Amino acid sequence: MRADLNRIREWIKPNSRVLDLGCGDGTLLNNLQKTRFVQGYGLEIDHAKITQCIQKKVAVIQADLNKGLQQYFADDSFDYVVMSQTLQATQRPDLLINEMLRVGKEAIVTFPNHAHWKNRFSLGVRGKMPITRTLPYQWYDTPNTHLCTLKDFEVLCKNQDIQLVKREVVDYSHKQSLLMQYMPNLFGEIAIYHLTKK
C-alpha cells in the first residue's frame, strides 16, 4: 500500500463508515475493511480500476466526481470521506470539498504542493512548468487542472469555514523532515489534511 494511504489509515477509527473518492483499485478500502473493520464505498470512473475493486470485494460506484455526490449520498452518510491525490484533477475542488463535508463528518484530503522549492526553481530558473515525481506530466497532457499550494488550500478552508484538524507535510517517500516542519509550503512535496465542519 502507498505510504500516503498508510498515513490516512492511521487517522481512521475502527468500525467507521468510509467513502473513498477516486478510490483507484480499491487498495485503501480493502485494507481498511481488513484492519479497521470499516464499512464503505469507493467512487471511481475508470472501468479497469472498478474491475480491480470488485476483485478485492470493495463496493464501488462508477461516478464522475465533477458531477458531485448529491445523487448518491445523503447528508452525514459517512464518518470519513477520503480523497487522495485527486483534488487537483477535479473541475471545482471548492465545491467537492463542501460535498465531502456534507456527506461525511470528517474529510481527509491529500494533494501535491505546487509551491515546493523544486517547482519554484523550475519556474524561476528554467522558465518552464515543472515536471516532478508528484506531478510527472507535461503542461499540455496533465490531468491536473487546479494545482495549488498549502497556503492556497488553507485560505480556501478558512473562507469556507472548514476546520483544519490536522496537517502533515511529507516528501515523495512520505517522510518528514525538520525543514518541512518550519517551512512546510517550501519543502513539503505532498500535503495531507484532516478536515471537519466548524
pLDDT digits (tens, 9 = 90+) for 16-63: 999 999 999 999 999 999 999 999 999 999 999 999 999 999 999 999
Q: Is residue 119 part of a domain?
A: no
Q: Is residue 136 part of a domain?
A: no
How many angstroms separate the CA atoms of 166 and 15, rounded? 21
How many angstroms separate the CA atoms of 171 and 189, rounded? 5
Q: Is residue 138 part of a domain?
A: no
Q: Quickly tell me which residue has 484538524 as its cell.
A: 165
**CATH code of the domain covering residue 33:** 3.40.50.150
Q: Is residue 133 part of a domain?
A: no
* Domain assignment of residue 107, given as a range: 3-114+145-197
For 149-178, letters b (16+ CB in 10 Å) and e give: bbebbbeebeeeebeeeeebbbbeebeeee
pLDDT digits (tens, 9 = 90+) for 161-194: 999 999 999 887 778 888 888 999 999 998 999 9
Q: Quickly tell me which residue has 525538520 as its cell.
A: 178
How many angstroms separate the CA atoms of 91 and 67, rounded? 9
| The pLDDT value given to residue 163 | 97
Prediction pTM value: 0.89
Q: Is residue 125 part of a domain?
A: no
| The pLDDT value given to residue 144 | 66
pLDDT digits (tens, 9 = 90+) for 86-103: 888 888 999 999 999 999
pLDDT digits (tens, 9 = 90+) for 61-72: 999 998 888 888
Number of domains in the chain: 1
Whether the CB-CB separation of 153 and 193 falls below 8 Å is answered with: yes
